[in-house]
Chain A
Amino acid sequence: MDKQLALQMRGITKHFGSVQANKHVDLDVYQGEILAILGENGSGKTTLMNMAAGIYYPDEGHILIDGQEVVIRSPKDAFAYHIGMIHQHFKLVELFSAAENIVLGMKEEGRYDVKRVMKEVQEIADRYGFRLDPAKKIYDMSVSEKQTVEIIKVLYRGADILILDEPTAVLTPQEITRLFDVLRRMKADGKSIIIITHKLNEVMEVSDRVAILRKGEHVATVNTAETSEAGLTEMMVGKKIDLDIHRSDPVHVEPRLEVRGLNIYDHEGIHKLKDVSFTANSGEILGIAGIAGSGQRELLEAISGLMKVTTGEILFRNPKKGQPVSLAHKSVKQIRELADRGAFHDRNMNPVSFGGMNDLAVRKWIESGNVLFREDEELHLENRNPLEIRQLGVHLSFVPEDRLGMGLVGNMDMTDNMMLRTYRKGNGSFLNRKFPRDQAHQIIHELEISTPGVSTPVRRLSGGNVQKVLVGREIAYMPKVLLAAYPVRGLDINSSYTIYNLMNRQKENGAAVVFVGEDLDVLLELCDRILVMNGGSVTGIVDARTVTKEEVGFLMTKTDRREETAE
């Protein structure tokens, strides 16, 4: 190769306590190339790049820039060597404009000359094809624009080596295409681009070479043109993986959850959900696609009883037809009222009436199991809290986005986390830890969770295992409706496929699964139907088997026509 070496990392090792994040990693980056760093979560990609960017300092090893050994102790040092990193979480001042954020922290003589900065920023943007208004305030910007500001910020500081950490995680397919165009233009200008990712299709699309990390070690660096997705996966995971999601055809499809005209204003009066209506069917996976923050969280939280509904209905159809009535979820008084409306019949299809019977006799009859529902139950869930929903006998499970902040308690062990759902059982005031402990052991076994034991705090587990604990607990409840928000976010390939399989199994068991996802390829492969949201509205419900990624991407950015005409 006649290309110039820009950055060399030699024998880089880094420990965090007893955890070895990088083990003797060697990496070469040439001028004018796009190098992808591929690896699963926890494989040490970000740690390695943080050492080039001066966030961490290596325990061992050397970094060479243009063949010269250098010491990078801080991001400032890194900039002196023309290395700039764009982190996954943006570090911008919301109240400042793009230009102000870009120049912030640079040592300049005298006052900042904002006009000159704006001009220079505009020049950089034009040169590489960014779309950016330097005077726009950050709080007015979309995620993609904020990312642009971050990239220009490092270019403005003279970076020749740009490191981008998972840059596509927050972008729509169209925005990703545009970003890749920009990256190619920067490459043509002689810059070295390093992109950290775990998405194979992006690696294939944009990179010249791929460096694969596994468990902190450098497995190989290969030319992208000479490899395949399957080959890369094998190197990344260490074994062959079947990358197909087996999607079965839905059976026994019937409406399970109906949402009608749902509107939500949050406590600040912002219209979060606008006239959302849809039906989730049993035996089906309904995907929800949309840019982050389009109302997905509000929708799921409203259904599960965590958010107040302003107007609209959430109906749960309990498949009770022909099933015995139970006293577990209804008082005798409620049962009498239902009986008066002719809701029950006995084993011989004769209507049940409790007229003139005392409560004890009513109880006896019901406990005999001979009082049956005439029709499926229709239960209103809107504006009921999670406990009330439970007491209605609705088996609704919710895997929230924020696993350790909402679904689980990080500092508690697995037993106590299992107990969250079941601790109320029994009449005494003391806890029964035996049942949740048995459940924990069972889930560890069934979902192959790797943990030192049931008494390890769950925050100590890896992301994939934390998620398995959460999903395992929610599935143990045998849900009729399973809501899952970004259930594979941050998970490695193996864990992701475990979760997909679990969702599929719930579908086959007849649950109505609602799956909020961010990876469109996965949504298209896994779901039966996809509901697309933008700005709190439903912009379309499409058949996942026939729709294309571009069509979904279009719906994700489509604005409500009614609103456009109103404005």
Chain B
Amino acid sequence: MSKAKSGQAREPLFQLSRRGVISPAKAWGIRITAVLLGFVACGLIALLLIDKLQEDPSQIGRFYSDFIQGSFGKGKVWKYLKDTAMLLCISLALVPAFRMRFWNIGGEGQTLVSVLGAIAVNIYLGGKIPEWLLLILMFVGAVLSGAVWAGIPAIFRAKWGTNETLFTLMMNYVATFLVSYCLVIWVPNGSSSLSKMETGRLPGIGQTYIPIIIVVLLITVALFVYLKYTKQGYEISVVGESIRTARYIGINEKKVIIRTMIFSGALCGIAGYLIAAGLDHTITAESIGGRGFTGILVAWLGKFNPLGMILTAALVQLLNQGASQISRDFNVRGALPDVFVGIILFFVIASEFFINYEVRYRGHHTRDQERTGGVK
């Protein structure tokens, strides 16, 4: 009998197999290695593409230090902490829905509408009622707006099974245009740019940003407790893990979906309130600046664990600010700095694969095989 290519074939180049359990130390080792490799890859690309580095490769040290300088340079620390806190706040608002496998990508619109809610209260009532009452009403306005904006797609999903991803995405555009429309009404001079408002400002404690940072940290802890130790948090996990198990146990998954999305939207409302009353004091269609989408990344990287997300929000913010520092220092324009951010995040995400799977290359034999492997 003639058998095909006997003896010529070798064992496969590499094989993948799923790991059973991996120690946390090893998992973190893989993650940190991935980040470091990501930085190395960035450096190589920078050497190839940035003019200043081509002329003088010794500047590469400065390239790396810019990632630190961007966030921890002189006078930048508070801004970094504030920006991280805001990013974290918006990311946290997405977590309850994500835990339920409800893919809400409308955090951008939900937060924007909340800012709009707070600003609207300020415009119509600012100066007419005491400041403390105004601040409370702005809070109510923001939270209600966020809850409604998130509640609508939830109700449609629960009642008619619409696709929540498309729905929430579309709601972002509606929110943007709603803001533009309101600005046309509120700013009659045609510039459509609302000047900073003097009323409805949250007081600072010492440093202006401290209240915001404290509030966000409190939300982080509260959300962690809610998800892990309350009956509602447990229901969210069950619905997220398996709708069929939820039904089997008598959980009304429609109710849980609507309730959780309204809660998510209300959290976006708090983020919007902090922006409206604590930071910007005005609104544009760009007030959120994509943080509703970056927040999705932060939540995923943090595996939907509020405490872990403190780290991922800090990392993502660090990279973003490092990228803008590089664009200033090396005079690079366009998308290149964002490419660096993308590369590092790609390495971080890819590291999860190597945490879950083991790769074995050809030639890694045991002694027994080496002894007999060559015999034909």
Contacts and interface: CB of A to CB of B under 8 A. Distances in A.
A266 interface: no
Contact of B3 (A70, A412, A416, A419): A70
Contacts of A304: 248
A60 B6 contact: no
A73 B3 contact: no
A70 B233 CA distance: 56
B358 A17 contact: yes
A420 B245 contact: yes
Interface stretch (A403-411, A509-517, A549-557): A403-411
Interface stretch (A223-231, A383-391, A537-545): A383-391
A409 B245 contact: yes
A81 B376 CA distance: 17
B234 interface: yes
Nearest to A68: B6
A11 B232 CA distance: 54
B76 interface: no
Interface in A340-359: none
Interface in B80-95: none
B227 to A, nearest CB: 11
A57 to B, nearest CB: 6
A68 B21 contact: no
Q: Is the interface of A mostly helix, strand, loop or mixed?
A: mixed
A65 B3 contact: yes
Contacts of A62: 372
Contacts of B231: 423-424, 429-431
Contacts of A419: 234
Given A60-B368, A420-B249, A431 B234 contact: yes
B248 A71 contact: no
Interface residues of A, number: 50
A419 B233 CA distance: 13
B1 interface: yes
Nearest to A79: B4
Interface stretch (B7-15, B267-275, B276-284): B7-15
Interface string A399-440: 010100111111110001001110110000111000000000
Interface stretch (B133-141, B142-150, B163-171, B235-243): B235-243
B241 A411 contact: yes
A408 B232 CA distance: 18
Nearest to B235: A423
Nearest to A81: B3
Contact of B250 (A65, A386, A402): A386
Interface in A57-85: 57, 59-60, 62, 65-66, 68-71, 73, 77, 80-81
Contacts of A77: 4, 9
A389 B365 CA distance: 59
Nearest to B251: A387
A66 B9 CA distance: 17
A73 B375 CA distance: 18
Interface in B1-53: 1, 3-7, 9-12, 15, 17-21
Given A71-B11, A430-B229, A11 B368 contact: yes
Contacts of A420: 238, 245, 249
A360 interface: no
Given A66-B1, A386-B250, A405-B245, A60 B234 contact: no
B366 interface: yes
Contacts of A409: 237-238, 241-242, 245
A26 B232 CA distance: 55
Contacts of B234: 416, 419, 423, 431
Given A80-B3, A306-B248, 16 more contacts: A17-B20, A18-B21, A69-B376, A73-B12, A77-B4, A80-B4, A390-B250, A400-B248, A409-B238, A410-B241, A416-B234, A420-B249, A423-B231, A424-B231, A430-B231, A431-B233
